[in-house]
Chains A and B, each alone.
Chain A
Amino acid sequence: MTTANPSPAFVVHKRRKVTLSRISGKAGWVLAQVFLWIFLATVVFPMLWTFMTSFKTSRELFSAPWSLPAEIQWANYARAWDKMHVSTYLFNSIFVSATSLFGIMTLGAMIAYALARYEFPGNRVVYFYFIAAMMIPGFLSLIPAWFLHRSIGTLGTPWGLIIQYTAGSLPFTIFLLQSFFKTLPKELEESAIIDGASLYQVFFLIMLPLAKSGLLTVAVFNFLGVWNEFMWALVTISKDEYKTLPLGMSNLLETAYYATDWGAMFAGFILMLVPTFIVYAIFQNRLAEGITVGALKG
């Protein structure tokens, strides 16, 4: 009977235990929130501070690093754009990224579609041939690729970057798009073929529009990869007129040290970040999705 009716002491004891753990749980929860806010500050403050500083003179930076600019120095931006070659880096990056992206998405989507939809001897072999390359570190091919581009005359030009970025991004693109094409219904294609559409029309007019969402995710992902690529650009591009933004970024510190034009340096930094900001603001969700799918399936 005692087990069916627990003594009052036992109940009280249990209740107290629950409240205690609830208090410690609450404290932990508050602590967790404080931690989040501190980390948020480490991301937001440096960004806001560099933004604010980009409107100040170099002298103000040293005398009052925390105060708002006494007068907004638009001239910093003009000097960064012109003298620090930010405009050159920006146009090069846009050209290289856009061209590479076009190549990657066209070739990648065609291969992924053929592999996903057509059974033929060697289908698996081709697929794994591409996928295996995802395990190989990119810098393994650095030296031979350098000599290869030297021998075909594309070394040190934007085309050397575009070719290498396109070829190197195919495995990831094919990997994601192949599985995406497999999820699309087959009936549409079949009925289109019965209605007399050619196989090309099926791909370009039916499959590509259907795959828009998957294509966009992969494209955003590839864009950032190409836009931010540093090492291949570093070892091949030496002429300033061909440099992309990551190279420009790494030049920035040196330029500012020698010229001591800190205002323009901060302005250049902000200018170079603008495209990334825009892409992130628009495609933030797709990026998270792409990373999740890419990493967890691979």
Chain B
Amino acid sequence: MLRREKWKIIIPFIVPGLILFTVFTMYPSLRGIYVSLFKWSGMSQNMTYIGLDNFAKLFRELTDPMDFYNLRTYLSHNLFMFAWSLLTMFLGLIIAAIINNKPFAHNVFRVTFFFPNVLALPAIAVLWSMTLNPSFGLVNTALNSLGLQNLALPWMSLQYDFPLFKLGLYTVGFIGFWAGVGWYMILFLAAIQNVPIELIEAAIIDGASRARAFWTVTVPLIWETVRTVLVFAVIGVLGSFALPFVLFERQPQKHSDMILNYYYWQAFVNNNWGYSAAIVVGIFIVTLAASIISYRFFGRETVQY
């Protein structure tokens, strides 16, 4: 192929997308980092360079024990969601293991469990706030008619006390679980199906129970997937925004807001552009660190037989 000929396809094929991507994705992302070094608030164009002061403020808000409803509280909500997503991951693995044994109607389970994943988060929020509505919702009316009035709790309430957090935040966690478990299931199912069946059969012939064969043969073999999924869970948890935002009526809520909700109020309501940029840069750094740690130091090598 002629060299000139080759460039006739490379340039028109690559350049338009490259420009669009550079202008609207790469440039704004880099500028987001740049802006985090400035004091820039309000609609004015005045940006004052303040070095790492925004990050110092970020750190102060995270560590100051006096300032109660702040970043630290929001971050604790994110951590709570992370605990939920570990549970989700675990149950997703269990569900994948069960479905892989092809129980009755396993395809119905697979297709149904994955379905919440394709719904927009606002749709999920609307669905559950109707289902959990205290006066007509499916759950509480059922509990009441079964004589279990004590269990008919105000699920959406951010006043109702529960261990550590308000009940409403537990509900957010449950909804996250409900929406996310199918995703983990699909990934683990694909990984499990790649494990050579002979290895599991060999373990069973050697006297291991099915459960034991799963934990000692299958799980080490899919460790790579577990690790990848863990990184996705960290990214997902730090990116939580829409669920609490829509569920709790688009108001700042000190008992349910996550770090990105705080970012949203800072950026688009208070117009603290510089400081809010520092918040997302912080999230970016944590995300990067999580993936590096997972690949470098989460030392367990994938077993290959």
Chains A and B are bound partners? yes
Whether A137 sits at the interface, judged by CB under 8 Å, is yes
Tell me if A126 and B122 are in contact (CB < 8 A): no
In the complex, are the beta carbons of B135 and A62 less than 8 A apart?
yes
Complex interface: chain A residues within 8 A of B130 (CB): 46, 50, 53, 266, 269
**Contact pick for A140, options B13, B116, B242, B284, CB 8 Å:** B284
Q: Are A40 and B113 in contact (CB under 8 A)?
A: yes
Tell yes or no: B171 within 8 A of A by CB.
no
The residues of B that contact A66 with a CB separation of less than 8 Å are: 138, 141-142, 145
Q: How far is the CB of A22 from chain B (nearest CB, A)?
A: 9
Stretch at the interface among A5-13, A68-76, A77-85, A244-252: A244-252
Which residue on chain B has the smallest CB distance to residue A251?
B122
Whether A296 pairs with B121 at a CB distance below 8 angstroms is no
Interchain CB contact under 8 A, B246 and A168: no
| Interface: A291 (CB within 8 A) | yes
Q: Are B103 and A36 in contact (CB under 8 A)?
A: yes
Contacts A114-B9, A140-B33, A143-B35 given: A65-B126 contact, CB under 8 Å? no
The total number of A-B Cβ pairs within 8 Å is: 251
Residue B83 at the A interface, CB < 8 A?
no
Q: Known interface pairs A36-B109, A170-B20, A291-B187. Does A118 touch B10 (Cβ–Cβ under 8 Å)?
A: yes
* Of the residues B14, B209, B287, contact of A111 by C-beta under 8 Å: B14
Is B14's CB under 8 angstroms from A114's CB?
yes
CB distance from B77 to the nearest CB of A (A): 17
Tell me the interface secondary structure of chain B in the complex. helix
A142 at the interface (CB under 8 A from B): yes
- The stretch that binds A, out of B24-32, B67-75, B161-169, B195-203, is B24-32
A287 adjacent to chain B (CB < 8 Å): yes
Name the interface residues of A8-65: CB closer than 8 Å to any CB of B.
21, 25, 28-29, 32-33, 35-36, 39-40, 42-47, 49-50, 53, 61-62, 65
The reply on A267 being an interface residue by CB < 8 A is: no
Is there contact, CB below 8 Å, between A254 and B136?
Answer: no
A21 contact from B35, B190, B209, Cβ within 8 A: B209
A250 touches B135 (CB 8 A): no
Annotate A271-296 by CB proximity to B: 1 below 8 A, 0 otherwise.
Answer: 01100100110001001100110011
Q: Tell me if A110 counts as interface (CB < 8 A to partner B).
A: yes
Task: List residues 1-39 of chain B with CB under 8 A from any CB of chain A.
Answer: 1, 5-10, 12-14, 16-18, 20-21, 23-29, 31-33, 35
Report B's interface with A, CB cutoff 8 A: 1, 5-10, 12-14, 16-18, 20-21, 23-29, 31-33, 35, 94-95, 98-99, 103-104, 108-109, 111-123, 125-131, 135-138, 141-142, 145, 178, 181, 183, 186-187, 190-191, 209-211, 224-225, 228-229, 232, 235, 238-239, 241-242, 245-246, 249-250, 260, 263-264, 267-268, 273, 276-277, 280-281, 283-284, 287-288, 291
Beyond A249-B120, A276-B120, list 5 extra A-B contacts (CB 8 Å): A120-B10, A139-B241, A139-B260, A140-B29, A246-B123
Could you list 17 examples of A-B contacts with CB < 8 Å?
A: A25-B210, A32-B94, A32-B103, A66-B142, A110-B16, A118-B10, A120-B7, A141-B29, A142-B267, A166-B20, A170-B25, A193-B1, A230-B242, A249-B126, A287-B117, A291-B183, A296-B228
A contacts, CB < 8 Å to B: 21, 25, 28-29, 32-33, 35-36, 39-40, 42-47, 49-50, 53, 61-62, 65-66, 107-108, 110-111, 113-115, 118, 120, 126, 129-130, 133, 135-137, 139-145, 148, 163-164, 166-168, 170-171, 193, 199-200, 203, 224, 227-228, 230-231, 235, 245-247, 249-250, 252-254, 262, 266, 269, 272-273, 276, 279-280, 284, 287-288, 291-292, 295-296, 298
The 3 closest A-B pairs by CB, nearest first: A141-B28, A228-B120, A107-B17
